[in-house]
Structure 1
Amino acid sequence: MSAGLQLERLRRRVAEDPALGANRDAPPALATVRSAVARAVREEGVLLPPDELARLVREVTDALAGLGPAQPLLRDPAVTDVLVNGPDEVWVERDGRLERTSVRFADAAAVHAAALRVLAPLGLRLDRGRPWVDARLPDGSRLHALLPPLAPGGPVISVRRFAAVNHTWEALLRSGAVPADAATLLREAVAARRAIVCCGRTGTGKTTLLNLLLAEVGDDERVLIIEDAPELRPRCAHAVRLEARPPNAEGAGEVTIRDLVRQALRMRPDRIVVGEVRGVEVVDMLQALATGHEGCMTTVHARAADEALVRLEGMALLAGLPLAAARAQLSVGLDLLAVLSRGPGGRRGLVQIAQLEPRDGDGPLRVRQLWQRESWS
């Protein structure tokens, strides 16, 4: 019998092992998978080289507890996003570029089943009654999934991974992502306890820059870090992490970023750092800035400094804060906006640093450019 046929028989025998389906509410543990593979090898009477045995264990584990055929993509350190648009269309972002892969699922049901396997240990649903879900995976990655009829072409899965690399100023200087004069300006701003917002589209390096700014905070400062997924890796001496919690399968138990900002204000913070402001929590952040909590930092999705201000104003309006009050608090509390973007070939980097100008009466907020990228060379 050929090696290929032997492996296929082993896969079938492992898949039929009753121990792997003993608990339908949770995927099997790795030890259970290994035991099932060992039993199948013993019963088939075949000898497998160690590398083939390890590969078989990985395949079975991926099929039973991971994203199936897409799981190996999540082990690639160069991949930041895995995008399953359907059973025959799986994309990744690798080294800043989107590329289509050869990965295939059997059918749309297999895509749905893969999402359910990952969500089961988290106690989250994905069904007709709740056709979308946001989840944080054990490794810190973010998963979003959507079902028909909201996605007419079939189930869609998006996974955003976060690099385990701790970037340094030196690395960003070498790559040209942050030129030396801009780095000096930002580091001095942190030392002076200026309030900074990092702006940019998805995947432009906002979190990377915020991590580096955090590393500049003095050891004598207490920093409260608030996120909905643990992306930041603080290297400051006195950091306290708070993490939002999504609602459970019954829709209860949610803890929002806004809830945590309010809690942080009672915890004697020197600085409050919010991983990203997306909504009504901006009001509490603005109040923190306006009441003397200097040096706060956050990120916001925006392509330019002016656009970031408009977005922040819009969030405040949605939270019920009058426009005049939102502008007044932004004017008092916010200092700098650092804008990141993508350049040629998918390169990421800082493109602008702007400072909020003093308000002229009740007029709109305006910024003054402090630094601008001239080229990507």
Structure 2
Amino acid sequence: MSMLITGISELVTCDDTVEDRRGGADAALAEGLGVLTDAAVVIGGGGEDTAPVVEWVGPAADAPQADWAIDLGGKAVVPGFVDSHAHLVFAGDRSAEFAARMTGQAYDGGGIALTMEATRAASDGELRALLQHRVSEMRAQGTTTVEIKSGYGLDVEHEVRALRLAREVTPETTFLGAHVVPPGMRGEAGPGSPGREAYLDLVCGEMLTACAPYARWVDVFCEPASPHAFDEQESRRVLEAGRAAGLELRVHGNQLGHGPGVRLAVELGAASVDHCTYLSEDDVEALAGSDTVATLLPGVEFSTRQPYPDARGLLEAGVSLALATDCNPGTCYSSSMPLMIALAVREMGMTPAQALRAATVGGARALRRPDLGRVRVGGPADLAVVDATSWLHIPYRVGTPVVRALEV
């Protein structure tokens, strides 16, 4: 069965081979997004064993016949957002922590222990229902691909459970046993203490072995500024163990202060280093000369009152950027990629086109998924519909539910 989608006022393809033939201000605003006007798309496949794919893209006047058709009535269409950093398998509530931060309390990662307790206490059914609700909430805001991390179990049984549930909704699952050292194992001596060493042995041994079958990625919270997270040596050990187990690498880095996270990620060839709130000139130079994507999470800065990264400066330096939500119960309980786009434009110096590309093509690069983030023949039919004639309404109408994933 094939479906013709017509009535598309603007089709943002994010396909570098598509020439935007409009002139003047319209072309400048699009900045290489490959925008087609008065466009149509034909989607095929979508049976029990095959995902829908794009079969044709072009002017509506030239569209081929299809088995059935829908008319969007002059709405814009963009590639579905690729949210490459999210923590969706959790229970509990940390709204009081948010309120405390708004009155001046600093964030150091310690609240993760509260979520760990609530998540361990929840049943599989409760966690599955919460997860499915959050994924549905994301799709209602235009997200079609999401990466989901573990990290709120912090023991073998509950880390495996988190990844098993996450794998039910996405292939992009990340083992984050090295989120923080759980209470009772931190010790008073900091790095090198017996409790921390015992937990690292567990993460790099039994926990990794049990979790690897359910994960594509391994991640670590490399943040020497936090007593709960991991230093460079500890982080290296986790990442190298994950790689030896067949997992690809991601890093939480440079969120709370300057540190080794970015340079470690680049050295080990991680697909992405996420947060990048505090960067030195050496960090920027390392990123610009690498294939590691800097994934920016502006919702965290919004929710913690930390400084926003200089996205414009990073782009000018040649760094590859992605935007993601970091949806989590502590530092950014938002599932809205449109909000991240708006924050990137308003607070980080990105143009609307740069922000949209970072939320689509950039996220795909951060996941090393070149099939995602674009609308092109042979690619997945991951489309999002904007309830307006222009894609610019995504950052323009901030806080308004203006975009949603197209269900095909």
TM-score, scaled relative to structure 1:
0.30
TM-score, with structure 2 as normaliser: 0.29
Greater RCO, CA 8 A, separation 6+: 2
